[in-house]
Structure 1
Amino acid sequence: MSSIPIERWAFLLADEPDAWTKGFDDSAWRPVRVPHDWSVELDFSPEGASGTGYLPGGIGWYRAHVPLALLQPAADRGAEDAAWSAGGPHVRLVFDGVYKNAEVWVNGYHLGGRPSGHAGFSFDVSEILSYAPDGDVVVSVRVDRTEIADARWYNGSGITRGVRLEAHDAVRVDEHGTAFATLAVDEGAATIRIDQVVVSDLAAPVAVHARHELRSLSSDRVHVFETDLVVPAGDRAGSVLVATVPDAELWSDDVPDLHRLTSVLTWTADDGPHRAEQAEIVGIRTIAFDADRGFFVNGQPRVLKGVCLHEDAGPFGTAVPAEVWLRRLLTLQDAGCNAIRMAHNPHAPELYALCDALGLFVIDEAFDEWESPKNKWWRGHNVYPPAHEGSAAHFPDWHERDLRAMVEPNRNRPSIIAWSIGNEVDYPNDPYASPLFAEMTGNNDADKPAEERRYDPHRPDIRRLTTIARRLAAIVRAVDPTRPVTLAAAFPELSSRTGLLDDLDLIGYNYKEQLYADDHRRFPRTPILGSENGHGYAQWRAVTDNDFVAGQFLWTGIDYLGEARGWPVHGSGAGLLTLAGFAKPGWHLRRSWWSADPTAHLVARPHAGAGVATNLWSHPVARDLPEAGAVEVLAFAGGGTPRLTAGGVELPLAFDETGGYWTTVRDVSAGPSAPADPLVLEVLSADGEAVARDELRAAGAPMLLEASVWTAPAHAAERCRAAGIDVGGDSDVRQVECVLRDAHGALARGEAEISAEIYGGELLGLENGDLGDVTPYRSTSRRTSGGRLIVFARVGGDGAIRVAAGSLPAVTVRA
């Protein structure tokens, strides 16, 4: 199999009725690089929908010209590349995802469309290419995103994921036709199973020899397994191979060892012997959810310390480069995170590949709504009336194909540990209702009108959800019987009584930790998981205090566009990281609970007064100390005993059982040291050694602009490259972290406008993480937030990025 990515396209943000024709003149259209999201290139506007980030949609056209010569075999190519000829046996045009309502033409031939913006799809273009009248193959795509209130979060607009042409021989592995599974791991040896479907376009039956090479990406050890099958004329046949891998190198979150499974098919036709091959990345591992003991990988217990993620990233929208995800995921891992829930739709293939390479467990999720639409807030959260656009309109006709499109391409990924068929489909009165409660209350109904929470017999009956859930679970198990089927329940108090949860292998609870103990007694054989949780210490204690709870998934790991409270705020600030990928105070606190590494971090805020209840979110904290007055100091400490000093004098610390951190109150003006003395937090090991340290002092005005190109740790970059994820090349995205420093080198107090100039490349955007800043992403300057900003650019090896902030000395960094 050979593959050519199609990255260069011409783009028009308008509806051009003749753009589908091969001869249409697109020379005046704007060149773009796919993946591409046009909405983030436009202005934020209060006329947009709050739920989708106040960004516009519209109708857009894409056209790509692929020279037919690229499809011809070059003299130095191997025999497996011969299928690239114009009359080649089998060529597929593959889309990883287009948001949304895509219609596709090749050389003026209409191939079809796909309503979903999250499902991958493909077309057989073999015959059409054989009709090509010249050397120009034209791919035309129309994208209809006129519904801007079509979701509760931002999904972008355009060809937001990769596109490629794949060439295969007449005998080949079927599309997504290989299923790799680990049946058992015992004393180092692993029992694996390879199910494979082979397709033949030949006019006669053919005997095929299949050689499976399982090559370790860590050690280059190769295990070879072989089998034979006969494929009927113009048909398909399956083979099943069960084998033992001695001294198997296992995939886990600790050591995510991967393998490349290469299937080599050989056969003889009338014109002689033939050979074709196909490769994909797999991992050898077993997973299990136990109703009493939680989650296990390779027989070893793990607590899932997870976060939920949407798929946007500031100026990229949902067309996020792998390098940007890599920086974000490594930062989350540094806090102790070991799991990701894909909320609330399948994500781009690159994100799953990174989770495979880095050792992150994944719960993949298919739908946020089923056949009836949820409320979509377009004038602020819970502001009535809602809109009801979105994916529910296509669910009856497309749910099986969309569900299969999630499971089939990803079932060989070791990172995926469960398939979720839905998120909060049982949300009370949104839209399903039940007479069992006179008033129904969900997770965020506090500011809803009372009539919206009462039972209404004219709404769809909630019992309908049970029928749909059984149908969806059966579809998943038919494609992949090796992983549990789950669902993120918003209202398990009721859903456990209507049958919705009966057919699940794993029950996900959204924000209902108080039900864990009673429901474990009610359903002693069903594993329980926190599929969506708040950031509080009590929610984490609900996991640590109950061995039967497999773990939790915070809402969310990273701030995201959409689900906004009201203009000008255009996103949700629920993350541990900002949209710019910088750690918030909550990240440091979480690290003190989750990470095995010692943690020391200090923040402070004005003292609210005795008896005033506070938490990390109701009274924000900062990396700063006031020059006078009473201040509450919060110490996030893990991995030892904390000690706080000022001017060499130890200060008392008390543990806040509600917040999960250490605190002290100090009057700066009357303290035992001068105001200029920093506070010093040390975490001491059992033998008294300081294993972590942090300082906090009164911040000064910005005196220095610090700028550095983010670079992935060598071990992570190596794992990614071995797995086929392109990071660190000359054409890749550069991420320049900008920080304002004071005279002491600490984070400064105050902000500055930062401008960026790119030499030998292009500026991709600036992000400060301020969800109330509606500066267009196409701007070349942006104000810092919390003294930080990140610049994204695509720069070659000889390029440079210059950043400037007012009167501060400008900084130039090399790519």
Structure 2
Amino acid sequence: MLKINIDRDWEYLEENLAFLEHVILRDDWKKVDIPHDIAIEKPRRKDNPSGPDEGFTAGSNIFYKRNLPIDEELLEKNLILEFEGIMGYSEIYINGILLKKHFYGYSSFLVDITNYVHEGENTLLVYVNNTHKPSSRWYAGTGIYRHVWLRVGGEVFIKPWELHVESDILDEKKAFLNIKVGVKNSSGRKVKAKLQFRIFSKEDELIKESEEKFEIDGKEEKVILKGLEIDNYIPWDIEDPYLYRLEAKILMDDKESDIDSTYFGIRKIEVVPNVGFKLNGRVIKLKGGCIHHDNGILGSASYDRAEERKVEILKQNGFNAVRTAHNPFSPSFLDACDRLGMLVMEEFFDVWTAGKRAYDYHLFFEKYWEEDVENTIKRDFNHPSIIMWSIGNEITWGSGVNWEKEKGYTNIFEWSEKLSKKVKELDPTRFVTSAFCGLPFEAVKVEDVEEDNTVILGVWKGNEETKSRWGEITEKYFKYLDVAGYNYKVDRYEDDGKEYPNRIICGTETFPYTLYDNWKETLKNPNVIGDFVWTAMDYLGEAGIGRASLDENEAKNFLGGFPWLISNCGDIDICGDKKPQSYYRDIVWSLRKVPYIAVLPPELYGKKIYLRLWGWEPVERNYNFKGWEGKPLRVYVYSDADEVELFLNGKSMGRKIAGDKVKFKTFYDINYEPGRLEVIGYKDGLEVGRDILETTGEPIKLKLIPDRNRISSCYGDLSYIKIVAVDEKGREVKNARNKIRVEVEGVGKLVALGSSDPLSQESFVTNEISLYQGRALAILKIMGIPGELKLKAWGENLKEEEIVIKCE
């Protein structure tokens, strides 16, 4: 079926569900385009029942309305609406008739409106209820936050999400394609037709065509299979993500009845005991990161460019795999993974029958899980980037089961089997996993571990009894899975590798603070196929899980109190910038050979800093500490060299051991002296690199850095512009907190302005913001007109700067 985007020209109204006629006739509807997340627009309050899980954001009841014009030609077609994602309990109405209810905010769904529209103006109404709080363990947003499409097909049409391609590599030159097409006849009469298949290269050259004749009874649905051989194929790989395009056309009496197309890749994936994960015959370790679905200061609004930029950033920082925690992501995100070469573990659920929050999906799971799994796999089947389906996350931590008795686990074992079998029935080509955490009914010893001036809270300590029970329970849980997902169980890799030599393990979540040990154990164990850090990118909600605190009592709270907004545990902040732990990862993963300097501010020197293992020492890439001259501070050096030597204004602070012996972290205690810090790394006595950090002057102007100087003029494209405070020498001033203002002129508009300040109470939908660590981010939306887009920015004691983006 053809896909027509209908994101534009909607209206919305915040209102409780009431008489529809009354709602529709209201005169206070506001114009809006999709994607839309109303939660990011509303003020955060301490007493919002969403709490720190959702960043103290507000829920909402909201109606969306759109006129759907249907002409005579469309009236003769089959018409299906596709909603990629609506956050909240949703109801879909056409001309006042309720056609669909949907309860999972992360799964796409279809609504057949063929028999409910008439020629002329039709009213599409969507009601979204997301006032039930708490309903999520992270920021979810509210509204129609992903694309909406109108699918149009002829009398005999290809069903949405049912043009599937499975590739089988025969040898180095030949591959075989198994094509499966779901077709439907709505004509009421028996029809003879043919399916025409055409395959195009990445360069859009026709390389193969064929056809298949078929008969289909009136009102019948059937599946048509076709096999095609491809010579001299180019495999899809993370280094060269080569994509083909398949076009399928239904012809009746040589006239087109319907057409659909899909991209696909030819690749081979394997998991082999004592070998690991293989892509196209090559063993690779998954350098993975977990991420949530939000797009930072945009909230949950899923713009194509926002999704693509996430993948670009992950790829640039060494990640080759991502876990969609803990739910299906948008098609645009998966498309970007296909294009850019990012492997994907796509997860279905955070909960099954037992909930983790009062109003989460466990209320609807037993009734709708199968529909959501089917919709997700059918929708995403052709993405070569997807290598694993995850059926659940930490299901054992749900409430409502008697964990004291083994029979309490029967439910979990049965559901693991049921979901796994369903997934393999729908897709036998990929691996199935589930992220398993601890055994909540065991008496696990928890300790606070002090490392110099840092206190790591809540470190789990196992014992022989839990080790035995772990084996007994996980054998049953993983029985029907291909890959055993271990959350925070790096300490079990070695023993389980010996005890269960055929068990393929993946570190589905690991702590950032133990990165060095995580990766060493992953490399050491061939059955461990990869490591997925929690998290690769900061996200909204689960506020303060990675915070550092000087207050022991406050630190023992799992999440931060108001006004905490951001998780603060990611390698990359919500504006897309690297944090110190990301540079440390570069060194652990052998991506950076130059040392890296980070500084613990002098006001923290000698004090006990409390953090959980999702946190990181509160170090900064900053050497501006006016008023602290002569006071002690700590300088951290991340390096894989044998030794490092720190210089303060040209004076050596001595050489120290670096590299593996100190897990790539060396520190110096010095007295603050404004000027220049320089570190040199040595291997075998020879210099291998150096890093410099300087005290800067006061900020005097802003520097504007766009992600792209020329962009598409297509409606909905985004321009990301970093706003950076600099001194008279053009050096970035990392401690600048100036208030800034922006204005936009031309063929676009400002859709978000914000910073990565985890405690900010400023709105992201105004044109004023305070800099955080010297930076802010502006996001501009293109309105579908070629021309120029101009951003002006200025602030307190900061000269005005402007930048022009070409939209072509």
* TM-score in same-fold range (> 0.5): yes
Match of 1:750 in 2: 736
Residue 355 of structure 2 aligns to a residue whose secondary structure is coil
**Residue in 2 that maps onto 1:517:** 494
Q: Is residue 789 of structure 1 aligned with residue 776 of structure 2? A: yes
Quick one: distance in 1 between partners of 2:661 and 2:313?
26
Matched, 1:175 2:157: no
Aligned letter for 1:93?
A: L
Residue 477 of structure 1 is matched in structure 2 by: 424
Aligned 1:512-661 pairs, distance under 5 A:
512-535=489-512, 536=514, 537-564=516-543, 565=559, 566-594=561-589, 596=591, 598-605=593-600, 617=615, 619-625=617-623, 628-637=630-639, 651-655=654-658, 657=660, 660-661=663-664
Counterpart Cα distance in 1 of 2:185 and 2:486: 46
Partner of 1:45: 45
2:697 paired residue number: 700
Q: Is 1:263–2:248 an aligned residue pair?
A: yes
Q: CA deviation at 1:316?
A: 1.9
Q: Which residue of 1 aligns with 2:75?
A: 87
Q: What is the CA–CA distance in structure 1 between the aligned matches of 2:170 and 2:339, rounded to whole Å?
A: 20
TM-score of the two chains, using structure 2 as the length reference? 0.86
Contact 2:392-2:435 within 8 A present in 1 as well: yes
Q: Which residue matches 2:548?
A: none
Equivalent-residue separation in structure 2 for 1:362 and 1:60 (angstroms): 33
Q: What RMSD over aligned residues (CA atoms) do the two structures have, in Å?
A: 2.9
CA deviations 1:581-639 (Å, max 9, x no partner) are 21111111112222546454322236898999999955422223365455443333469
**Structure 1 residues 631 and 743, CA, compared in 2 at 3 Å: closer, same or farther?**
farther
2:56 counterpart SS class: coil
Partner residue in 1 for 2:454: none
The equivalent of 2:181 in structure 1 is 196
Identical positions, percent? 25
Q: How far apart in 1 are the matches of 2:24 and 2:616?
A: 58
Q: Is the 8 A contact 1:216 1:249 kept in 2?
A: no
Kept in 2: contact 1:229–1:237 (CA 8 A):
no
- Aligned partners of 2:225, 2:427: CA distance in 1, in Å? 15
**Unmatched runs of 5 consecutive residues or more in structure 1:** 73-84, 377-387, 438-459, 718-726
Letter in 1 for 2:491: Q
1:61 aligns with 2:63: yes
Question: C-alpha separation between the residues in 2 aligned to 1:413 and 1:640?
Answer: 43
Q: What is the alpha-carbon distance in structure 1 between the residues aligned to residue 138 and residue 616 of structure 2?
A: 24
Q: How far is the alpha carbon of 1:693 from its aligned partner?
A: 5.2
Q: Distance in 1 between matches of 2:637 and 2:537?
A: 23
Note the C-alpha offset of 1:667.
3.5
Cα deviation, residue 329, structure 1: 2.3
Contact 1:230 1:237 in 2 (8 A): no
Q: Secondary structure at the match of 1:156?
A: coil
Query: Distance in 2 between the 1:52 and 1:522 partners?
Result: 40
1:434 counterpart = 2:389: no
Cα deviation, residue 340, structure 1: 0.8
Cα distance 1:359–1:728, how it changes in 2: closer, same or farther (>3 A)? farther
For 1:742 and 1:614, locate their aligned partners in 2 and report how far apart those are by CA, in whole Å: 34
What is the aligned counterpart of 2:749 among 754, 762, 770? Answer: 762
Equivalent in the alignment of 2:385: 415
> Which whole-Å deviations, capped at 9, do the CAs of 1:758-795 have from their partners, x for residues lacking one?
22332212221112111122332111111111011224
Which residue does 1:396 correspond to in 2?
A: 366
User: Is contact 1:20–1:140 with CA below 8 Å preserved after alignment?
Assistant: no
What's the CA shift for 1:190?
A: 1.9
The CA distance in 2 between the partners of 1:697 and 1:657, in whole Å, is: 28
Per-residue deviation, residues 513-561 of structure 1 (Å, max 9, x unmatched) = 1111222223222211000111121112121222221001110111112
Contact preservation (8 Å) 1:707, 1:811: yes
Q: 1:114 aligns with which of 93, 97, 102?
A: 102
Q: With structure 1 as the length reference, what TM-score do the two structures score?
A: 0.85
> What are the superposed Cα offsets for residues 683-728 of structure 1, whole Å, 9 maximum, x if unpaired?
88x99786x653212243223311122229x9xx9xxxxxxxxx67
d(CA) in 2 for partners of 1:362 and 1:583? Answer: 22
Q: Secondary structure at the match of 2:344?
A: strand
SS at match of 2:588: helix
Change (3 A) 1:546 1:806: same
> Post-superposition shift, 1:431?
4.0
SS at match of 1:663: strand
The one-letter code matched in structure 1 to 2:495 is D
State how far apart, in whole Å, the 1-side matches of 2:133 and 2:405 are.
35
Tell me if the contact between 2:488 and 2:510 (Cα under 8 Å) persists in the aligned partners: yes
TM-fit CA distance, 1:278: 0.7
- Map Cα deviations across residues 488-524 of structure 1 (whole Å, 9 max, x no partner): 0012765652422211111100001111122222322
Aligned CA distance change for structure 1 residues 570 and 612 (closer, same or farther; 3 Å): closer
* Structure 2 residues without counterparts, runs of 5 or longer: 440-466, 544-558
1:142 aligns with 2:127: yes
**Which residue is equivalent to 1:289?**
271
Counterparts of 2:311 and 2:594, CA distance in 1: 19
Q: How far apart in 1 are the matches of 2:206 and 2:593?
A: 36
Contact map agreement 1:218 1:258 (CA 8 A) in 2: no
The one of the two structures with greater contact order (alpha-carbon pairs below 8 A, sep at least 6) is 1
Distance 2:661 2:697 in 1: 32
Which whole-Å CA distance do the structure 1 matches of 2:646 and 2:244 have between them?
A: 48
Aligned length, in residue pairs: 741
* Residue type of the alignment partner of 1:799: L
- CA deviations 1:302-343 (Å, max 9, x no partner) are 110111111112332111322223333222222211111001
SS in 2 for 1:324: helix
SS state at 1:571 partner? coil
Give the whole-Å Cα distance in 2 for the aligned partners of 1:119 and 1:148. 20
Alignment equivalent of 1:320, drawn from 302, 311, 314: 302
Cα 1:645/1:186, change in 2 over 3 Å? farther
User: Within 1, Cα distance between the matches of 2:183 and 2:685?
Assistant: 63
AA aligned opposite 1:808: L
**Aligned counterparts of 1:658 and 1:46: Cα–Cα separation in 2:** 46
